[in-house]
Amino acid sequence: MQRGRFITFEGGEGTGKSTQARRLAERLERAGIATLVTREPGGTALGEDIRALILKDRPQDPLTELLLFAAARAEHMTAVIRPALDDGTWVISDRFIDSTRVYQGKLYAIEPELIALLEKYTVGHEIPDLTLILDLPPDAGLERAASRGTLSRYDAERIETHETLRQGFLEIATSEPDRCVLIDGNLPIESVATAVWHAVTERLLANAV
């Protein structure tokens, strides 16, 4: 049996990751490919507990967050992602290693060596086959949030933070072009889904079926 493919969606807050992860899974299923959608932090009962724990009581030390996320990821890989891939199921994760690199590494300035070491022991060789990085200018995110009536998440004070995150994801897309495809998230949902499908077809589907 052919091993499943591992796809991740990355990008800042509100860029459309969850929307596009669902859309892609539906499209793969329609193409006859068994697909599992999962997310980080989370993806297992323990991981979801860790996620809830962090959201409830935001740790003061960024290292606490990094280590808790790493624990959740170890479990996620062993209990969910690796078995699914072994089974021939395609796995789509809503956020993964690049969010750690950008949030903990770039925003909270934890040493890249530590992040890389944890990545090595949790993920090992099973890095994603394809990472779709959704790019959206912070002001477009602000508009999106405003139209949804949840402006607080995107308040003006945090624009700088969103720009830092955006640059972090852009740097990854540039430095790892074999794994990553940058997708313009500032288009209607349908158009983004078409760009995502094009990337998947070109990078993974041509030699999978």
Q: Which is nearer to ligand ATP, 82 or 139 (CB)?
A: 139
| Cβ atoms of residues 4 and 89 within 8 Å | yes
| Amino acid type, 91 | V
Neighbours of 60 (CB within 10 A): 8
> Does residue 18 touch Mg ion according to CB under 5 A?
yes
Task: Considering only the stretches 11-19, 66-74, 117-125, 142-150, report the one whose residues sit in contact with Mg ion under the rule CB under 5 A.
Answer: 11-19
Minimum separation from the CB atom of position 195 to ligand ATP (A): 10
CB-based closest residue to Mg ion: 18
Provide the Cα torsion 162, 165, 170, 172; round to 10°: -170
Tokens 């009536």 belong to residue: 149
Q: Which does 148 bind (CB under 5 to 8 A by kind): Mg ion, ligand ATP, none?
A: ligand ATP
The residues binding ligand ATP (CB under 6 A) are: 13-19, 144, 148, 187-189, 192
Q: Which is nearer to Mg ion, 32 or 188 (CB)?
A: 188
What DSSP letter does each residue of 99-136 carry, written as one string?
HIIIIIIIIS---HHHHHHHHHHHTTT---SEEEEEE-
Minimum separation from the CB atom of position 52 to Mg ion (A): 15
Q: Which is nearer to ligand ATP, 159 or 187 (CB)?
A: 187
Q: Please choose, from the candidates 171, 136, 168, 142, the residue with its C-alpha nearest in 3D space to the C-alpha of residue 155.
A: 142
Tokens 């999106």 belong to residue: 144
Minimum separation from the CB atom of position 120 to ligand ATP (A): 26
Q: Which does 13 bind (CB under 5 to 8 A by kind): ligand ATP, Mg ion, none?
A: ligand ATP
- Residue numbers of the site for Mg ion (CB under 5 A)? 17-18
